[in-house]
Structure 1
């Protein structure tokens, strides 16, 4: 059952903040700004939240994302896998009356550690809304790409790949960065990169971008898309373990196009899921479970 009581949902990340007024499970108003946690001065969170609530009639607020990290307002901790939406709701912290912060999710074993904060609401929300099956492989592309294995509606396990950040680092600081001009799209150059990473040593293939440019093997402006294909293709090939494997992709726009193409070339089947609808469903379900 969807609660009729209105509330404010906030996805508060590192560089951006999105706020939604939700009534009857539907978004009726939205705000977005660049007041991510890195833009908030020391001690500045209470005032920013108070201002936000004032603009939304003083409604209660449920927040997810980096606002609950050790660099945010209040460290909300992590729920260990397997993590359910009920466990997230039970782990919510309340820094002040009317304000709730959702915890993140972690993998914490002797052999491996991983964390997510914010993505868990979308992943669990996708299942809660029926946008993805209770048992599925979900992918949420981004700077730190998340691959989540869902079992019985819970996040059973997940892996974070630094795909987007690696592209940015290579472009800004690597020898091949000067070659990485031009736009990235899901065209031929990107697809060539995805194909090339199938049998290639990734590190050697990356240096090959420089060599191809020097020897005139690749047209100027094509390298950025090719490198993107190498990185995203490598990421997808590492996760797709069987032909025809279905991947529910929480993305839109260019990222949806790039990952859909790479997943298909790697032998999988991409199913694009509405990430905003997933977040709204997840945060609403959490709100309904709160006291």
Structure 2
């Protein structure tokens, strides 16, 4: 028997929301997923949204991760500095209403470059908490903004955000390549050719223009253009990593994009390890447990 709900965990993203009724032992007893992401809400909408979740799951504590704590969300939960552990995140949770807390993100404030994350840190540290990944590891989280995340002894120490997915969506719908990238994007000879081109490219913008020239000069089949362009961009992203042959890369994603990144990592002489679903709820549960 799973047990009764003890609290509500919410992964509140930009466009989507996933909410879970969680037991005290960390099991999911009920869930919902919808398009009520932060872009669909105003700040005044959140109290009613929380009330609706409690009507659905019960009047429990609520622990939220993701963009709900951003400047676009309910209230900004200030970033904490890396290195950061689950315990650090738990201690810095922002209470926005009685028994309703937002988990903060993590920032790189000093050093050669700034970067921020909000939501991914919970998934990474959740994977470590369940043993799905070791405490010292390299993670890749494909998405609109791909993340490369480094951990040492259970703390997130460094990360890099790459706008690969967003840039591909932009060139697919706007600019000179729009209309040429309507074909499928999947693992194929064209995709792998693009990977090789992207890894070796010193000038990504020039490599992308070659997609247009290749089609016009009948060196690239129109139907393969999208897969080739995607390969160029993912290959350029993966090609920035010089350490792929030194340790496994733990993939925190599912679906087609994770498959493509897995191929790209393997083609670059790395080894991709898929992390099972459930890391986000595991991370939220570890944070809830430390504050309970």
Sort the TM-score into its range (normalised by shorter chain): over 0.9
Match of 1:79 in 2: 80
Match of 2:163 in 1: 162
| Structure 2: segments with no counterpart, 5+ residues | none
* 1:19-168 paired onto structure 2 within 5 Å: 19-23=19-23, 24-168=25-169
State yes or no: 1:229 paired with 2:231.
Answer: yes
What's the secondary structure of 1:54's corresponding residue?
Answer: helix
Cα distance change on mapping 1:165 and 1:190 into 2, 3 Å: same
User: 1:16 maps to what in 2?
Assistant: 16
Cα distance in 2 for partners of 1:55, 1:99 equals 16
User: Which secondary structure does the structure 2 equivalent of 1:210 belong to?
Assistant: helix
Matched residue of 1:238: which SS?
Answer: coil
RMSD: 1.5
How far residue 245 of structure 1 moved from its aligned partner, in angstroms, is 3.3
Partners of 1:170 and 1:98 in 2: how far apart?
A: 44
SS of the aligned residue for 2:173 comes to: helix
Q: CA separation in 1, counterparts of 2:281 and 2:43?
A: 29
Relative distance call for 1:28 and 1:4 in structure 2 (3 A) is: closer
Aligned residues: 288
Matched residues in 2 for 1:243 and 1:141: separation?
19
Q: CA deviation at 1:64?
A: 0.4
User: What residue number does 1:238 align with?
Assistant: 240
Normalising by structure 1, report the TM-score. Answer: 0.95
Q: Distance between the aligned counterparts of 1:50 and 1:96, measured in 2?
A: 11
| Structure 1 unaligned blocks of 5 or more | none
Q: How many angstroms does 1:110 deviate by?
A: 4.8
The correspondence of residues 136-285 of structure 1 with structure 2, limited to 5 A, is 136-200=137-201, 201-274=203-276, 276-285=277-286
Runs of 4+ in 1 over 3 A off after TM superposition: none
2:30, 2:57 within 8 Å by CA — same for their partners in 1? no
Distance 1:6 1:118 in 2: 22
Change (3 A) 1:218 1:31: same
Instruction: Give the TM-score, by structure 2 length.
Output: 0.95
Distance 1:120 1:110 in 2: 20
